[in-house]
């Protein structure tokens, strides 16, 4: 897909749809983050249909209580490998906070794919399914990892083009 003449938001939305349909997911969203100010937001979301909840939200500080509450986010901030959760209900508390996932997202299976550059978290790609567990095949895992580099320059361009509240703040992490 050529991205040369498209705004980053258009291309990001196209890539989210590609990921969602390829994986037969119910939803696929992108958490975009400015590591310079420790703020991020779910800025983009593809959904299979309108019944699937849309989690898009405003900018939030993400280096204060969120890493304590969410082990998946803590792993992302530490630039650890992406996490493939086949069943939220059966996952270890070391991997995720079930109650946080249930209340915040409602999904049953997910991929928490970390988009990083030079030891900094720029985004999280999160395809997911609802209602039942889902096995992520080795081919799907490899495919997702191969997709992540396509998102990085788009997120960086998006971050540089949007107004983030208190962007002049010093880095928090």
Q: What integer is the mean pLDDT of 75-90?
A: 97
Tokens of 166: 């208190």
Average pLDDT across the chain, whole number: 93
Asked whether the predicted pLDDT for residue 173 surpasses 60, the reply is no
pTM value > 0.85: yes
User: What is the pLDDT, as a whole number, of residue 168?
Assistant: 58
* 109, HSE (Cβ side, Cα atoms, 13 Å): 15
Three-class DSSP category at 36: coil
What domains appear along the chain, each with residue ranges and CATH number? 8-159 (3.30.450.40)
User: What is the pLDDT, as a whole number, of residue 4?
Assistant: 45
CB of 28 within 8 A of CB of 45? yes
Residue 25: which residues within 8 A CB-CB, separation 6 or more?
Answer: 19, 48, 127, 128, 129
Q: What integer is the mean pLDDT of 27-31?
A: 98
User: What is the pLDDT, as a whole number, of residue 127?
Assistant: 98
DSSP 8-state class, residue 64: S
Q: What integer is the mean pLDDT of 39-48?
A: 97
Asked whether the predicted pLDDT for residue 19 surpasses 70, the reply is yes
């Amino acid at each position: 897909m050529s991205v040369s003449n498209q705004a980053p938001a258009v291309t990001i939305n196209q890539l989210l749809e590609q990921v969602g349909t390829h994986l037969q997911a119910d939803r696929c969203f992108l958490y975009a983050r400015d590591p310079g100010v420790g703020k991020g937001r779910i800025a983009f979301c593809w959904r299979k249909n309108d019944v699937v909840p849309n989690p898009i939200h405003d900018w939030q500080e993400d280096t204060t209580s969120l890493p304590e509450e969410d082990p998946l986010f803590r792993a992302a901030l530490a630039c650890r490998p992406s996490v493939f959760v086949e069943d939220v209900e059966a996952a270890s508390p070391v991997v995720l906070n079930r109650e946080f996932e249930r209340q915040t997202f409602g999904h049953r299976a997910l991929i928490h794919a970390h988009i990083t550059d030079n030891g900094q978290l720029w985004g999280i790609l999160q395809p997911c399914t609802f209602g039942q567990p889902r096995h992520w095949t080795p081919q799907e895992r490899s495919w997702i990892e191969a997709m992540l580099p396509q998102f990085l320059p788009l997120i960086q361009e998006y971050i540089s083009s949007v107004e983030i509240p208190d962007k002049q703040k010093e880095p928090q992490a």
